[in-house]
Structure 1
Amino acid sequence: MTAAGWGAVLGAAAGLGIVLVLARVRAIRQPPLAIRVLPYLRDLSPLVDAPNRAPGHSASPLGAATGVFGPVLRSGAEAVERVLGGETSVRRRIERAGLDLTVHEVRVQQVVWGLVGFAVAAAYSLLKALTDPGGVVAAVMLSIVGFAAGVLARDNHLSGQARRRERRIIEEFPALAELLALAVAAGEGPVSALDRVVRRSDGAFSADLARVLADVRLGEPVGVAFDELASRTAVPAVARFAQGIAIAIERGTPLADVLHAQAADVRDASRRDLIESAARREVLMMVPVVFLVLPVTVLFAFWPGVVGLSLTTP
């Protein structure tokens, strides 16, 4: 077969592959049958999230890739789960980060990050092989290390997302606690005060309070809903806050005083953390003084004398 014939065959194969991929992506973007039937089945509320949690119909940005390369990515995610384990820890960090993901979706993202790391390492090895042939074993090992680095990088990124959200919660906590205290002191009940604060605020801690409000409206007692918030969160101040509200509602303690005390405690704790952080970084704060300010000061002090000596010497 001539070169033109081979070109025609390869072009037809590439075009057919593109058409198949586009057809699959279009099919994925169409709402599934469960979503279309759901408005007529209002009494089956547990099905609301079921289509979104189904493999291949994820709401995450990787949904299309999961649909096209679903079997491969799912197999890779299961292999990562078997190697790393820690499903409970991952689920806990997802809740702390406030992400609308499942453990399986996080594992799929780890596989995708690992493939990106593998591709970067393989491209570097290929470019190096063009200039210096040989070292196939080193290139393979580097690619494997790139895949492992990508997988671990997604895991560390998840932990970082959880820590950043917890810092935002600590920053938002005193203001929202004071708002709750003011609403309760004005005569509103706990649920009404919680609804008012959630409707007039936005942020990480407000999202947690909105989840508590949703649980209360679904029929759970207020104390039980706040106990569940205390068990979910990893921020000690929020756990004490939720437990204090639950105990105050159960025993009839004045709720406004409890909320004011909680907000004052968090502000004092933030102030102490700031002072301790400054004390720990005292040496780092001396670096610009020693290496920037002090040399400039010495230069300004001695430079006129050096210039004067150079002018007076024959």
Structure 2
Amino acid sequence: MTGTSAAIVCGIVLGAGLWLLLFRIPFMRPTTFTERIEPQLKSQNLESRLLQSGEQNVTPFGPLERIARPLLRDGRTALGRLNLGSKALSRRLAQAGIAKSPIDFRAEQLLWAAAGFAVSLAAVVTGAVAGRFSPFMAVVGVLGTALAGFMFRDYWLGVQIRRRESRMMAEFPSLAELMALAVGAGESATGALDRVCRSAHGELSKEFSKILTETRAGIPLVEALQEFSARTNLGPLVRFVDGIIVAVERGTPLAEVLRAQAQDVRDTAKRDLMESAGKKEIGMMVPVVNCYLF
């Protein structure tokens, strides 16, 4: 191994260590819903922590395993995505609005990996012709680029899901109020959904159209709504669907519930905007202090 190759490998190892240190420490990790509500539920749990059975170690490394357990959990989640028949992948494809099977998506990932492999191989051949060739770096570059292409397609699927969910949340208040007006005018839940689908165009109206299509195909409305609730991660939409299900099953008033949920989504959007503005205000302190005060 040449000195340049050793320096590159050391740089990669150092970069990976810094990434683990900066972005995977506890206060930089995303907070789960359980961790957010745990302080409010502590008063309900009177059992001593000394009597609780902790998580069992699966390796003989003891404390080291407990330190690395979050990384192991994330790795297990990432490896679960590689299952060709994964139900989680089918759910993610439905969330992104992509009409593909998991097998087709994996084939597309392999095509992305092949494209990365071809580009890196061409770069290696070009470097070899020019007289710059290192067998170790050639193998690492070709295999790493192929793996990066495979994983980038999965990352891009997550980007598509987030963008689609943001569009759905932007449409939700208006559609909920329109549906509340239709229900208040005497329409049934199915009729209100039909009116919303005919009046609006967007990602959420497409989901409502899918629900109506399933209903017209013979699936009960409650079951179709439950399937929609199962394939979305958006809490306001889940509560919206649950409200419709309760109204259909028990005959409770629906218009006020829909208006309240629409207002709740608008309030949530305002809070998120204020939180984002607060973070950007703190981020602007660095250039202001460096550029104006020094």
Q: TM-score, length-normalised on structure 1?
A: 0.64
Give the counterpart letter for 1:132 in structure 2. G
Which residue in 2 is equivalent to 1:170?
169
Check conservation: 2:117, 2:142, Cα contact below 8 A. yes
**1:231 aligned onto 2:241:** no
Give the counterpart letter for 1:122 in structure 2. L
| Residues 1:134 and 1:193: Cα distance change in structure 2 (over 3 Å) | closer
Deviations 1:143-190 (A, max 9, x none): 111110000000101111111111111111001001101111111111
Which residue in 2 is equivalent to 1:193?
192
Which residue in 2 is equivalent to 1:250?
249
**Higher mean C-alpha displacement, 213-222 vs 157-166:** 213-222
> Cα distance, 1:207 vs. partner?
0.9
Which residue in 2 is equivalent to 1:72?
none
Which residue in 1 is equivalent to 2:148?
149
Q: How does 1:114-153 map to 2 (within 5 A)?
A: 114-153=113-152
Check conservation: 1:223, 1:247, Cα contact below 8 A. no
Give the counterpart letter for 1:196 in structure 2. R
Give the counterpart letter for 2:198 in structure 1. R
Q: Based on CA coordinates, which of the two structures has the bigger radius of gyration?
A: 1
**Separation in structure 2 between the aligned mates of residue 141 and residue 197 of structure 1, nearest angstrom:** 54
**Separation in structure 1 between the aligned mates of residue 217 and residue 175 of structure 2, nearest angstrom:** 23
**Separation in structure 1 between the aligned mates of residue 152 and residue 126 of structure 2, nearest angstrom:** 24
> Cα distance, 1:215 vs. partner?
1.6
> Cα distance, 1:83 vs. partner?
9.4
**Separation in structure 1 between the aligned mates of residue 183 and residue 280 of structure 2, nearest angstrom:** 41
Give the counterpart letter for 1:169 in structure 2. M
**Separation in structure 2 between the aligned mates of residue 164 and residue 178 of structure 1, nearest angstrom:** 23
Q: TM-score, length-normalised on structure 2?
A: 0.68
Check conservation: 1:121, 1:143, Cα contact below 8 A. yes
**Separation in structure 1 between the aligned mates of residue 246 and residue 133 of structure 2, nearest angstrom:** 70
**Separation in structure 2 between the aligned mates of residue 175 and residue 291 of structure 1, nearest angstrom:** 44
Q: How does 1:56-135 map to 2 (within 5 A)?
A: 84-85=82-83, 87-135=86-134
Q: How does 1:282-301 map to 2 (within 5 A)?
A: 282-287=281-286, 289-290=288-289, 294=292
**Higher mean C-alpha displacement, 215-224 vs 230-239:** 215-224
Give the counterpart letter for 2:105 in structure 1. V
**Separation in structure 2 between the aligned mates of residue 83 and residue 144 of structure 1, nearest angstrom:** 20
**Separation in structure 1 between the aligned mates of residue 237 and residue 218 of structure 2, nearest angstrom:** 23
**Separation in structure 2 between the aligned mates of residue 107 and residue 170 of structure 1, nearest angstrom:** 29
Gaps of 5+ in 2: 1-78
**Separation in structure 2 between the aligned mates of residue 170 and residue 83 of structure 1, nearest angstrom:** 26
Q: Which has the higher contact order (CA 8 A, sep 6+)?
A: 2
Gaps of 5+ in 1: 1-80, 299-314
**Separation in structure 2 between the aligned mates of residue 133 and residue 188 of structure 1, nearest angstrom:** 73
Q: How does 1:11-26 map to 2 (within 5 A)?
A: none
**Separation in structure 2 between the aligned mates of residue 121 and residue 83 of structure 1, nearest angstrom:** 25
Q: What percent of counterpart residues are identical?
A: 42
Deviations 1:246-292 (A, max 9, x none): 01221111111111011011111111111122223322233454456
SS of the residue corresponding to residue 281 of structure 1 reads helix
**Separation in structure 2 between the aligned mates of residue 89 and residue 230 of structure 1, nearest angstrom:** 15
> Cα distance, 1:196 vs. partner?
1.0
Which residue in 1 is equivalent to 2:37?
none
SS of the residue corresponding to residue 115 of structure 2 reads helix
Which residue in 1 is equivalent to 2:71?
none
| Residues 1:246 and 1:195: Cα distance change in structure 2 (over 3 Å) | same
Give the counterpart letter for 2:185 in structure 1. A
**Separation in structure 1 between the aligned mates of residue 229 and residue 80 of structure 2, nearest angstrom:** 31
Which residue in 2 is equivalent to 1:259?
258
Tell me which stretches of 4 or more aligned residues in structure 1 moved more than 4 Å: none
Which residue in 2 is equivalent to 1:24?
none
**Higher mean C-alpha displacement, 144-153 vs 222-231:** 222-231
